[in-house]
Structure formats: C-alpha cells, structure tokens
Amino acid sequence: MSLFSIAGLQLELSNRNNLHLIESEINQLMLRCPWIEMVMLGELSPFGSGTSQARDLPGESEQFFCDLAASHGIWLLPGSMYERSEGEIFNTASVINPAGEVVVRYRKMFPFCPYEKDVSAGTDFAVFEIPEVGKFGVSICYDSWFAETTRAMVCMGAEVILHPTLTNTIDRDAELAIVRASAVSNQCYFVDINVAGPIGNGRSIIVGPGGEVIHQAGEQREVIAVQLDLDYVRRVRESGWQGLGQVLKSFRDSSTVFPQYGDSGIKPMQLENLGPLELPTRKSGE
C-alpha cells in the first residue's frame, strides 16, 4: 500500500515551553482526522529558538512525544529541539513510530550560521523506512539551501523529504522556490512545515515529484492534511513527470566528475576568495 496520510501542523508558537499546546493540537487533529498516519511540526516547535532551552536526548521531553505518538498510534516528527551532548549543542529532530519508539534522530547539518553560531553541525543523514509504504528522509530548514543534502537522501532511497522549518525572514519566498526545485530535480515529495507567528511567518508548502504545489499555507495557524502516493513517485522516476525528464536515471548514468565533489584535482578558488563566514556589519560612511 503506497498511500500515506500526513498532517503538517503550522502552529502559532513562541520561545517557551509549547509541549501542552502541541499536545492539545494533536489531540484535536486526531479527533477530527482519525485517518492521519503521521503528524509533523516546524523546526524548534517544542521550546522555541533559544539554545538555553537545550535538552538531553533521550530525555523527558522526547519521551513526552513518544508517549503522545503511542497514545494515538501515529508516526510523529515534533519539529526539532536543541540537544545537549558532550558539551555541544545540536539542532535535532526525532522521528517516532506508532509504538512510541524513536527510529532515528537527525542533527541539522547546516546550522544557520553565522546566526546559529553556538550550534554544532551534524554529520549523518537520516533515511528511514515505513513498512509497506516507502522511505523517508529528514532535513531541517537551512539544510535545503544545499542541494547536496536532498540528493544524498534520494540516493539513499528517500521518496519523501520531511523538512521542519523555522523562518520569519524576507527570504521565505526563496525557500519556497528551493522546495519546488528540490522536489522536481529529485522526483520526490517535499514536505516543508514552518512555524507561524510570533516566531515564524508560516507559508508551509507540500510539493509533489513534478514540482507541483499540493498545498501552500498562509501565514496563520493552519492544519495541512494530505495523502501522499508513493507509487506516483516511482512512476515519475521510471518514466518522467508527464512522460518528460527521467532526471535520476540521467544522474545515475552520467560519467561527469563535478569539480566540487571528489578528487577532481580542481580547487574551488572562487569559493575560497569569499572570505570568512561572519555576521554582516554596517558599512561606515554609507
């Protein structure tokens, strides 16, 4: 069975403990839409964007969501939370199965530096399988700006990318374009769920493997319940969207050695000349 029902919760959250608000929203959702099989929230939904709220994983906060998932028999991706680990802080998303077990934890590979300056980068991709459905990958917010992250998960078998986001800046339009481009160039579903006010500007988006917009939310609280068809992804990958480009096959069969990957003998000098990664400053005299 390749059909799978997922609900994205674009909630109006703040930089405090949001656990019981999230619990109430999920309880209401499951009363209204008992067919939902997975619930997903935006980045840093449980406690907001302050690293002072970092938690140990596993720990009480994660267990709260494990119990909630088990009580409804759903898959749950409660956004992400800052994780304390051996003197470092990571931005970590936990994926929980209907038995209340954590099946994978993903640490954000590209913290939003230089702003997310106290957060360490993860190094491992997260692709997991839902039995009799298909394979799902997880990335977080700024990760999507780096095309390599989505392509790597797709090469590991991912057919759906789950992408919790926390954005409240003017570049949300750019992110929506990236989501559509990522979906069509990797022939996958891309589920991008943002947080609403006061700490996010919403506009969550779910896109199909042809780059088609399945739903784009507004800026306020919104519950986005959709049904994904993973057999559709497989047909698109086999014969192209609307019979057009077979992108992944062409990528697989290419003999091109890209300068930015592997030992090609070419150094990316133009990137080295960009200077250090640091906060922009006001230009004096302008």
d(CA 232, CA 254): 25
CATH class of 3-272: alpha beta
Q: If pLDDT is split at 50, 70 and 90, which confidence band does 262 have?
A: low
* Domain boundaries along the sequence of the chain: 3-272
Mean pLDDT of 170-175: 97
Positive or negative torsion for Cα 251, 186, 179, 69: negative
% of the chain exceeding 90 in pLDDT: 87
Question: Could you give the C-alpha distances from 67 to 60, 73, 94, 98, in angstroms and in order?
Answer: 10, 10, 13, 9
- pTM of this structure: 0.95
Strand partners, 191: 162, 206
pLDDT score for 62:
98
Give the amino acid at 285.
G
Percentage with pLDDT > 70 across the chain: 95
What pLDDT is recorded for position 260? 74
pLDDT, position 41: 98
pLDDT of residue 117: 86
Question: Which of these, 93, 75, 73, lies nearest to 130 by C-alpha position?
Answer: 75
- The model's confidence at residue 264, banded by pLDDT at 50, 70 and 90, is low
Question: Cβ–Cβ contacts within 10 Å for residue 126, how many?
Answer: 23
Q: Is the peptide bond before 164 cis (omega within 30 degrees of 0)?
A: no
> pLDDT of 50-77, one tens digit each?
999 999 999 999 999 999 999 999 999 9
Per-residue pLDDT for 265 more than 60?
no
The Cα–Cα gap between 72 and 63 comes to: 14
Does residue 90 carry a pLDDT above 90? yes
